Structure 1
């Protein structure tokens, strides 16, 4: 099996769709030297398409053949210096166009993680996934589908019952050894440094290039001045810096950069508000689920 050391760590950043937009890969590239020092290497979407997608099979595939396992394991680097292999692709837990099926978000997630467990029984598998408010995620997902597929889902699915709980429970049931780290995409600007450190496995105290670029890009001109002042004065006090940046973001974020138009006919602000309440409850429930870690501004070292 490729001569892998048993302590090789397998990390996957898998979306959700419409969240990252290549930001994590750009951040890992900017901090490539640091990752290398820590024994981490990352791989973009091509390696997923080459080694994993052809072997995941259809929704009924529950067991990998020896040949499929061999092909999947070719994805891992074989150099002794690499201790953590990071794979970036939104499709790891579900292919675009098939993320809402049978009344569930990401219905293939549990099965695919179980197949990965079969292929990599000795390598700890870590899944990293940004949740998103279903109130804005569902209409965006539906509007990305061809008209016939969207109409079929609207006709056969009770959208009000959709949440992230089913997906995560499936992974826990079918692939119990996979460690899951989640965060709300809405919190990403405030916890970006923590997200990068968690995915890459680098020390929490490591300085990151571009750690605050995202939050700065979402602030008004006045907010950017205030944030830069906080970065200059509180650089040695992470907790104080976190508090200041949180309040600056709350008061000076560019609203038009954070809000999205709801393009799905009939989907309105009242529906989004209803989903928002359920979303908050679901995230709290997930945070107490065994094998699941939820990152938030309250536990993120900025």
Structure 2
């Protein structure tokens, strides 16, 4: 059995992925892919991790945890999603790193399911928009205090992934860019659920509706019905065109932080682009791209 842990990052998903997977719970379940209720595993995982303090969970504890998570006796894959598996938004930056406790938490999560295969799934986001987004959610009025001495220009997602890989080298990682999520949505669902090409997700376009609105979504679905794409690339080009027409305003983010000039934001974005090249070349990492 494979345990798939979708661990964020914060402000990249808003549980939309879980909502779509849960809408398809019955069909996925017939294929041995279990999508449990978040209330069945989020508190249980947190409490068990705290009780074990990093130790490998005894077999009976692992069995009890799985019994609390799912009713099925057997499964091919179990998908568990929570953007705060590693920490709350206010602790997502510190010690000059994204998610300074992530490698420790990843190892503890791995130790909860030592008898199973484990995969981590993570969406990364341009620091120029990620940092303001998590700062807004951190409920900390002091930006410098929130940064905890970290220089935004020095923060790298590749550092986070390297730390996780070093602590749990037997757990592969699936990555994608939050900026690409609207284009990659079916591909992301497939990668996390582990479905074959024959499975069609109900409500697969609902997420796009959160960006382009009901009117834009209706037009998109009407167009896809009359002009069905023959390849994923064709579908992505169609989605991109409709997002440009109906979703541009929703995808824009106003950045208002002290000292963050246009040049500063552009430099952060340039470093992010370089960082993505490092991520794409990492062993043990599957990087989803359009």
TM-score computed with the length of structure 1 as normaliser: 0.83
1:1-302 equivalence runs, <5 A: 8-57=1-50, 61-64=53-56, 66=58, 72-77=65-70, 79-147=72-140, 150-154=143-147, 156-215=149-208, 218-219=211-212, 225=219, 228-235=222-229, 237-239=230-232, 241-242=234-235, 244-249=237-242, 251-297=244-290
How much has 1:18 moved relative to structure 2? 1.0
CA distance in 1, matches of 2:104, 2:196: 32
Query: In 1, distance between residues paired with 2:270 and 2:240?
Result: 22
Cα deviations by residue, 1:25-46 (Å, 9 ceiling, x for unpaired): 2211221222111111113432
- Residue 54 of structure 1: CA displacement? 2.1
Equivalent pair of 1:104/1:166 in contact (CA under 8 Å)? yes
Three-state SS of the structure 2 residue aligned to 1:165 is helix
Q: For the structure 1 residues 272 and 249, does the alpha-carbon distance in structure 2 shift closer, same or farther, using more than 3 Å as the test?
A: farther
SS of structure 2 residue aligned to 1:20: coil
Q: What is the Cα deviation at residue 190 of structure 1?
A: 0.7
Following superposition, the deviation at residue 222 of structure 1 comes to 7.5
SS in 1 for 2:35: strand
Deviations 1:51-81 (A, max 9, x none): 21123349xx543464876765555536234
> Which structure 1 residue ranges, 5 or more long, are not aligned?
1-7, 298-302
Q: d(CA) in 2 for partners of 1:51 and 1:26?
A: 20
1:293 match: secondary structure: strand
Query: What is the CA RMSD across the aligned residues, in angstroms?
Result: 2.8
Q: How far apart, in 1, do the equivalents of 2:225 and 2:216 lie? A: 14
Q: Which runs of 5+ in 2 are unaligned?
A: none
Give me the TM-score of the superposition, normalised by structure 2: 0.86
Q: Do the aligned partners of 2:96 and 2:150 also contact (CA within 8 Å) in 1?
A: yes
The answer for the alignment partner of 1:3 in structure 2 is: none
* Residue range with higher mean Cα deviation, 35-44 or 65-74: 65-74
- Name the CA distance, whole Å, in 2 between partners of 1:225 and 1:54: 46
**Quick one: structure 1 residues 75 and 114, their matched pair in 2 at CA, closer, same or farther if it must change by over 3 Å?**
farther
